[in-house]
Amino acid sequence: MLKNHLKLSLRNLWKNRLLSSLNLLGLSIGIGSVLTLLFSVYAYYSADVKIEDQGNIYFFKTITTGGDSYRESPYPLMDKIVETSPQVIAATHLHGWGNMWLEQGEKELQERTDYVDAEFFEVFSLPLKYGDTESALEKKYSIILTDRVSQKLFGNKNPVGAKLIGADSLNLTVTGVFEPISPYSSFRLGVIMPNDILKDNSNFVSQANWGNSFSPSYFRVRAGTDLAQLENHVNQLAQNNYVDPTIIAGMKAVPYSESRMDAIPVVKIIINGCIAASFFVLLIVLVNLLNLNTSTMFRRTKDITVRKILGGSKKNVIAQFCIENGILVLISIVISGVLFLGFLLPAMNNIFGADFGKIAFSFENDYVVILAAIALGVLMTLVVGVLPTLRFISVPISIGIKGKIENIKSNFFLKNSFIIMQFAIAILFICVAIILNSQIGFMKNADVGFNRENVIVGNIDLDYKDIETANFNFEALLDDLNANPYVENISTSESIPSDYYFNYTTYHDPNTGRDVRFRRSYTDVGYLKTLQIPIMSGRDFDENMDSSEDNPVIINRSAMEAFGWTSIEGKRLKFKNHDSEGYPIVGVMEDFHYQDLQNSVEPLVHFYKKKEDLAIHRYLSVRVMEGQEKSIHDMIVSAFAKIDSRRNYEQAYLSEKVSGQYRLIEGMLTTVNVVALLTIFISCLGMFGLISFMAKRRIKEIGIRKVLGAGVLKIVVLLSKDYIILVGIATLIAFPAAWYLMNAWLGSFAYSISIQWWMFALGGLIAFLIVSLTLSIQAVKSASVNPVKSLRTE
Amino acid sequence: MLLQLNNIFKWVQQGGQRIFLLKDINLEVEEGEFISIMGPSGSGKSTLLNVMGMLDTFDEGEYSFLDEPVHQLKEKHRANLYKQYIGFVFQAYHLIDELTVYENLEMPLLYKKISGSERKAMVADMLDRFNIVGKKDLFPAQLSGGQQQLVGVARALIGKPKLILADEPTGNLNSKQGEEIMELFKQLNEEGVTIIQVTHSEKNAEYGKRIINLLDGRMV
């Protein structure tokens, strides 16, 4: 029996080659995309699964009076909390203090370095591949490597007990290696070391006080702890101990499980978007298969009836359909697997890898995904195999045998709502893509307040082995550059637009009593000239004057407005509750977008540092005459080749750096584009099948109308009209939904486009064009049939 | 007695009126009979055949088949009954296009859960008897109409039914092919199979031992 079913299924599929391949195509691409989207969701949710009892791990976020929040707190806060709170079982800092260079024989590398406390493993149950969590952090000069770093230094060997030289001076012993950590984990680790090591670092000791917030710390609390009370307590500690408690509005306990969404808020949108998109794609694929299956039923009713006469039961007939669809689904799962591994996953890694890390699929760890795909396949098979059959199987034999499906009642409402839903989703995605596209275009091409063209930026933060020689050589390079006729301006700076540190200081105006929170950075004299940022009032830095004055600063227009000043005459940047004179403000620059347009231009202050100061400046920016970038690049590279450093000089265009800020959101756009294309494509496949079915059902009607004188065009309109109306209804659902969604989304941008009517019109037009094209192919075909033929068939 | 119809009525409602498809049909069929049902289009020939084959229901009256009261049986029982005892032959053959001649013949046996070796023997036997061994791997579309109907008859016979119901078995065939099928029926009848056929053709009706004439759903 089974053999017979299989044989019949294969022959049926082959006979309807066109429909089968449409089905296969839609299914494969659909399942492949769903697989990719859901795999990233799965990777996200499974990344931290090894950390036990996450519900009782918290960190405290500082909420400032200015409305900002951050998870860093002053170093001593943790100990204070532990001492005074019996609810806390274990606690650890997890903070960096410059990444340490590590030497092992010939090999030398620098990886992200975090410092933790002895109770680290009691807070986070991160498993070790080698070593023992009990003792790994016992000794002061211990170092625990991530699997990745261990591979780099020691290959596949167990390195526990091996020695490393840290920062040219520390004798470190490897005490453990972590199990591989997923790139989607909240842990972005390289190596970790005990905080005790930092206690020998005078710089650290001088900063580890109540005045500097740089250290995030994590707490494991007893189950059932009253969090509100703990929050209050911590808040009290902060108020009592902080150097300047006035800026603290509150301390908020955040569960560790929200750590990732807290760190990158857009993650939440991406993950929810992935789930929603997979759900919709799946729905569309399913509906589509249902529609296409229904369309083949015309021919099938007679088959089903003959089988019933020959003694086949309903079960037999349903089994036949399930097997037929099962074959399709199974093949498409295999194809989608190939698509997923060979194309979609690498593509997704390309899009999101730079921001979230690249994930890989391995059969031993991720077999759940395969099982889920198969379970999904079985479910789909049952749905699409059983549902359409049920409708046709109960057709009375005497009707079925004549193949008169005109008499078969179809649930018109149900089928229509399917189509409306499919197209509503597809049009929604198209509109979202159009609006997102406009927003990105707007952000990329907006006037950023500086001239991004023809500026090359090089990374000069190269970890020089001898900073004095480096400074000397660098000065020579700067002289050469200045003398070069192709160079218009040069500048060195700590930051460039797109890469300003999140380095904030709050200043105070005693006259107005206002506090303003500033971003701060160091630049040289040429910065504003090189980037062509206009000066609003006052002056630019001056090499001769500013080395003598004490710390002159230039602020931006927003800063001036935030203080409510009309002129900077005689103004100084002062600290609150501080006796110092403050910094003299020598100039005001126009606002420029030093970060992307998702964020507003916050008050900014530039401090002056000499051009050749390599200890501070991280970037060399050169405004070059167009077309001469190559020769300047070569000149700089050969100069840096002579300077002994641990990193290599790298160079890019400023315009690229500025555009690069939108990489993630562009990645999202790419994904939305693909999903939009996919949904409209699959929906059209289904519609193509349905209209073929309709045309066959109405073949006699078409014949009669033609005999009575209707032209091809009239028939095409007749056949297509209903569907066009359905798509019209779909747009009515999709437009407000798209507007609502995108309006909310655009609200999260500091600078956004306003949604225009033409964006929806364009989305609708695209959908209508694609739909009409699909419809007319089949409609014209049916309308062109010679009526003599179609009427004779009866 | 093979089957007995007593006061069978069948109607449809149309515009508030009853339109009778079958009206007071009384019929007894003995085993070994060969009956031809005749009448103009719309006289209820096919409906009567379908009622006898249990493919269609009726609204009033009694029908017993091999002493089983069909009108009282559940659909499943009815299906079992006709599966076991009745073979159908159609005007349009109704072979399954995706199956070869061999597989088409095998199909009813599959539904009867007959073992593989037995099926093989029965199909081989049937192919032999109808002289279509050479055609067993061909698909219906590759055969002429007459050959297709031959396969149709073979398929109806393979389950060893007591009764064959044929709805215009020669309607789609030319006269020579039709004659061959009728000769086959005659021969089968001589071997003991009961046959009831619907036909338009006087000539074909003559093959039957008894002729029933219908007009507007009534026997005349």
- CA separation, residue A103 to residues A153, A176, A565 (Å): 9, 17, 53
Model confidence over A744-779: pLDDT tens digits? 888 888 888 888 888 888 988 988 888 888 888 878
Mean pLDDT of chain B: 88
Q: Does B79 contact A398 at a Cβ distance shorter than 8 Å?
A: no
Asked if the Cβ–Cβ distance from B98 to A15 is below 8 Å, we say yes
Q: In this predicted structure, what is the pLDDT of residue A421?
A: 85
Residues in chain B: 220
Contact residues on chain B for A396, CB-CB shorter than 8 A: 56
Q: Is the pLDDT of residue A242 over 50?
A: yes
Token pair belonging to B70: 């069909």
Q: DSSP of A253-319, one letter per residue?
A: EEEGGGHHHHHSTHHHHHHHHHHHHHHHHHHHHHHHHHHHHHHHHHHHHHHHHHHHHHT--HHHHHH
B55/A311 CB distance under 8 A = no
Kindly give, in sequence order, each residue whose CB lies less than 8 Å from that of residue A676, ignoring residues fewer than 6 positions away. A426, A429, A430, A432, A433
Largest CA distance in chain A: 106
Condensed to tens digits (0 to 9), the pLDDT of residues A619-648 reads: 888 888 888 888 888 888 888 888 877 777
Phi, psi at residue A606, to the nearest 5°?
A: -105, 130
DSSP 8-state assignment for residue A150: H
Beta strand pairing call for A101-104 and A163-166:
antiparallel
Q: Does the pLDDT of residue A546 top 70, yes or no?
A: no
pLDDT at A107: 76
Mutate to test the interface with A, among B49, B89, B110, B114 (most CBs of A within 10 A): B110
Decide which of A292 and B13 is more confident.
B13
Q: Which residues pair with A114 in a beta bridge?
A: A192
Where residue A567 falls among pLDDT bands split at 50, 70, 90?
confident
CA geometry: angle at B70 spanning B64 and B73, to 5°? 145
**What pLDDT score was predicted for residue A794?**
39
Contacts of B155 in chain A (CB under 8 A): 310
Residues of B in contact with A303 (CB under 8 A): 96
Let me know: does A716 contact A780? Beta carbons within 8 Å. yes
Q: Check if the beta carbon of residue A490 is closer than 8 Å to that of residue A625.
A: no
Residue A407 has pLDDT above 70, yes or no: no
Query: What are the tens digits of pLDDT across the range A648-686?
Result: 788 888 888 888 888 778 888 888 888 888 888 888 887
Q: Does residue A357 register a pLDDT over 60?
A: yes
Which residue has 């003991």 as its token pair? B192
Please count the residue pairs, one from chain A and one from chain B, whose beta carbons lie less than 8 angstroms apart.
53
Eight-class DSSP state of A341: I
Question: Position of tokens 């002429």?
Answer: B144
pLDDT digits (tens, 9 = 90+) for B74-132: 877 888 888 888 888 888 888 888 888 998 888 888 888 888 899 899 999 889 888 88
What is the pLDDT, as a whole number, of residue A793?
A: 47
Measured in angstroms, the CA of B77 and the nearest CA of chain A are apart by 12
- Quote the minimal CA–CA distance from A380 to chain B in Å: 25
Residues of B in contact with A404 (CB under 8 A): none
Question: Based on C-alpha coordinates, what's the Rg of chain B?
Answer: 18
Judge: A396–B83 Cβ closer than 8 Å, yes or no. no
Would you call A311 and B99 a contact, using CB atoms and an 8 Å cutoff? no
**C-alpha to C-alpha distance for B51 and B8, rounded to whole angstroms:** 9
Q: Identify the closest residue of chain A to B157 by CA–CA distance.
A: A310
Chain B positions touching A313 (Cβ under 8 A) are 79, 111
The interface pTM score, or ipTM, of the predicted complex is 0.80
What average pLDDT does this structure show over A495-516?
81
Q: How confident is residue A502, by pLDDT bands cut at 50, 70 and 90?
A: confident
Mark yes or no for CB contact B79/A316 under 8 Å. no
For residue B62, what pLDDT band results from cuts at 50, 70 and 90? very high
> How far apart (Å, rounded) are the C-alpha atoms in residues A545 and A264?
43
In the predicted model, is pLDDT for residue B195 greater than 90?
Answer: yes
Report the distance separating Cα A43 and Cα A53, nearest Å: 19
Beta strand A69-70 pairing with A57-64: antiparallel
Asked whether residue A452 carries a pLDDT value surpassing 70, the answer given is: yes
Minimum CA–CA partner of B139 in chain A: A11
Which residue among B82, B110, B159 sits closest to A1, beta carbon to beta carbon? B110
pLDDT score of A206 more than 80: no
CA–CA separation, A787 and A453 (whole Å): 67
In tens, the pLDDT along B15-34 reads 888 888 899 999 999 999 99
pLDDT of residue A355: 67
At A406 the pLDDT is 55
Residue with tokens 């009239």: A714
Give the pLDDT confidence score for residue B101 in this predicted structure: 92
pLDDT tens track for A273-282: 888 888 888 8
Backbone φ and ψ for A332, nearest 5 degrees, come out as -70, -30
pLDDT of residue A413: 67
